[in-house]
Structure 1
């Protein structure tokens, strides 16, 4: 995945466009992505809020890109017949196809989500489900990966979707390098809730944040919820409630995510045996690590290492 073509209809949401363009811009130490913006007729395109963007390329750019993106716009039916056909053709030739927020409606209109799971902004999930009953709409998820077709939720979740795709195609180190420059978390699980009922704690900002920091340094051993609750000076029940409100996931799901992120780093940067990698991230054996890795990453650890390992 090196060439990226993003389709911008009239009324494109500038925030969503900016996120995607920032992720795929050229930068040192990562693959040389080629990012091109296209529209139905090259020229001025109205974007919010009251801005005009000059787009140089037409729909022909969708015919050869490795990744074809549907950017969010101000409506659900602003898709030209040409754009729908172009996205369908891109999927038929095997390109990666993705859309976030109402961009998912373009993929749905093209029939690319039939029989698949998908997400969109939580405000529009019911509309997507009612208009396209063939789709299994996951209203609470940040992004949904269906292999060659991906959908993301609204607003900043487009960033999560793109970083997930880069992580999947180019490895954790590349995704982390881009995230570090953007000053955002390098990875949030797709199944994480689209929004939390309380702000995510800032590292070092309060007792819960301190416990999360501490837990990240203890991934090599079992970590029970009761132990985390004691360190937070909370009852188990209160800790679980506050944890989920702050992060959008349960303590157990959060720990699995942290363990797998650390495993990815070790697989990329060391030649340690898989049993040692498993031990370092708190799993009893390579078999247990493999089970968790395949379930949540789609490939076994050995295959991930072959694809993204950086050691000679």
Structure 2
């Protein structure tokens, strides 16, 4: 059976690294490219982080493309330190002096358009960071969305609960204009793994300990990059997530990737139009679900609500058993 072709658009933080590794190990997936965007760290860090993940998994042949370094409109917010200032926990001291030579010369947005045009209706796009590259792609090629097989987004929220502001989720808050454009103009089949979806389907901290203590290079890498990161400390996690949803280990971006790899992981979803709020001092960047058709929009998306946590946990476990023995 032909493998599912996937492009991963990422702002490679720790949870992105987990999601990328999940795709690399999936037997039914061919990662045709990784496109980088600012977010969990500055763009240079994101590019280097992706290269590190591919190196650990011995998959350096996957092409990596440099994309947008700031939001589409207005000033870019400084990157969060949720996963450390470099996105991978601030524990990797050695730098590859030749990392830039390993990044493709083609811009990420051009590569995205090219790869999808060459493989029309065969490519699933998994977006794990701010949606700037996707917004630019539809501006450069308005037919781009209809050439996709489908789109999976980790981002947005469905109940007005935010993690970087009172009402907005990080990826959408970092570039609300791009999130708005994508959810208005991408008419392809779209699946949204929101912040609340991720948090409501969290795993235990005991599972996290078992996950990172597996005997494999990828697991040891994950153990290292989470070792000093407060977001992976059960004691430190007294933020909005635990306040709203209770204590749990949550690997945000992996939820969107899992849905792409195995649709049966998702057990419940809502089909409805959505819109990103652009105005306001409190609600800017918030995603709104229109379940009563007030907006009279022409298309809907699938907002994920429940997942098979056991199946999801198995995908996480397998993702850290890399590189695969030849």
Structure with greater helix share of residues: 1
Give the TM-score, by structure 1 length.
0.35
Which has more radius of gyration?
1
| Larger RCO (CA within 8 A; separation ≥ 6) | 2
Give the TM-score, by structure 2 length.
0.34
